[in-house]
Amino acid sequence: MDLPSDFDDVIRRALAEDVRSGDVTSNAVVPEGSMATARVMAKASGVLAGGPVFERVFSLADDSLVFRWVALDGSVVAPGNLLGEVRGDARAILAAERVALNFLQHLSGIATLTRAFVGACAGTEAQILCTRKTLPGLRALERYAVQCGGGRLHRGGLDDGVLIKDNHVQIAGGVTEALKRAKAEVPHTLKVEVEVETLEQLAEALAGGADSVLLDNADTATLHEAVAMVGGRVPLEVSGGVTLENVGEIASTGPVLISVGRITHSAPALDISLDVVATAP
């Protein structure tokens, strides 16, 4: 799991949005030079993700702050668990607190929901993938969180591979024609996936040389037929209407890739707090 190299830019924008010209409350209430120790505590069960991002927020606010981590990204946490501590200038800790927690809670929420989907597929050959349904500007961090939760990555952007969607098929005049055009235009090193909605389109995609196929919004009976038709010749991806309640049934149909938009666009934040436990002048 690798964090994006440019996440400092995202953090700086978040700090500029919140701190702006300064923390007027802390500057008024907390004496200058006050030192504090604050504990990062889990208030709900889940999977931790974003520790380095959390730490970097504070470091960009004040590089003299010191951290001690107890839990690492990808680890399971429970209510009351101590995740880590930050020590140093009290004003700096309070100024950066909300931005740091926003990142940590959001990314941990994604990791937690991803782990739930992965767990629901246990004992099968299915794998959970993220999608491009991410918050603008946070895709790289959210993809990292998916990996912390045990999920796999789909395309990071439109240049990662060819994915012929239903709108492409409509404009091109059919699956066969869309595949023909894609194969003629892109280099042989770039894989071509096509989205289909029926078994007839699936047959077209296989005949047209698709490197992988995405079957959208299929019921379980259709999915069983699709798995048999593909016969392991190419990866078969499934999407649309995937929930924690039905993902196990989908996974049981065979070796499928299950892309789930909700693990990034609808993951609830994991409840984590930062509480000052000691102060000194």
Q: Given this model, what pLDDT does residue 184 score? A: 94
Catalytic residue among 18, 177, 216, 271: 216
The question of whether 23 is a catalytic residue gets the answer: no
- Shared domain check, 256 and 147: yes
The question of whether 180 is a catalytic residue gets the answer: no
- Shared domain check, 195 and 161: yes
Catalytic residue among 73, 195, 204, 237: 195
Q: Given this model, what pLDDT does residue 99 score? A: 98
- Shared domain check, 251 and 132: yes
- Shared domain check, 55 and 127: no
Q: Given this model, what pLDDT does residue 280 score? A: 75
Q: What angle do CA 85, 47, 100 make, to 5 degrees?
A: 45
Identify the domain containing residue 91 by its residue range: 7-117+268-280
Q: Given this model, what pLDDT does residue 3 score? A: 79
The question of whether 98 is a catalytic residue gets the answer: yes
Q: Please report, in tens digits, the pLDDT of each residue of the chain (281 residues total).
A: 677 777 899 999 999 999 999 999 999 999 999 999 999 999 999 999 999 999 999 999 999 999 999 999 999 999 999 999 999 999 999 999 999 999 999 999 999 999 999 999 999 999 999 999 999 999 999 999 999 999 999 999 999 999 999 999 999 999 999 999 999 999 988 999 999 999 999 999 999 999 999 999 999 999 999 999 999 999 999 999 999 999 999 999 999 999 999 999 999 999 999 999 978 76
- Shared domain check, 127 and 256: yes
Q: Taking the mean position of all CA atoms in its chain, how far away is CA 109?
A: 9
Catalytic residue among 133, 139, 152, 181: 133
- Shared domain check, 238 and 130: yes
Please, are residues 260 and 127 in contact by the beta-carbon 8 Å criterion? Answer: no
Q: Given this model, what pLDDT does residue 138 score? A: 95
- Shared domain check, 276 and 261: no
Catalytic residue among 43, 98, 152, 262: 98
DSSP 182-237: HHHHS-TTS-EEEEESSHHHHHHHHHTT-SEEEEES--HHHHHHHHHHHTTSS-EE
- Shared domain check, 103 and 131: no
Q: Given this model, what pLDDT does residue 112 score? A: 98
Instruction: Provide the number of structural domains found in the chain.
Output: 2
Alpha carbon distance 10, 176 (integer Å) = 42
Q: Domain of 71: which CATH number? A: 3.90.1170.20
Residue 223, CB-side half-sphere exposure with 13 Å CA sphere: 26
In a domain, 2, yes or no: no
The alpha-carbon radius of gyration of the chain (Å, integer) is: 23
The question of whether 249 is a catalytic residue gets the answer: no
Q: Given this model, what pLDDT does residue 242 score? A: 96
The question of whether 133 is a catalytic residue gets the answer: yes
In a domain, 146, yes or no: yes
- Shared domain check, 21 and 112: yes
In a domain, 140, yes or no: yes
- Shared domain check, 246 and 138: yes
Catalytic residue among 12, 68, 165, 233: 165
- Shared domain check, 170 and 105: no
Q: Given this model, what pLDDT does residue 6 score? A: 76
- Shared domain check, 53 and 132: no
In a domain, 1, yes or no: no
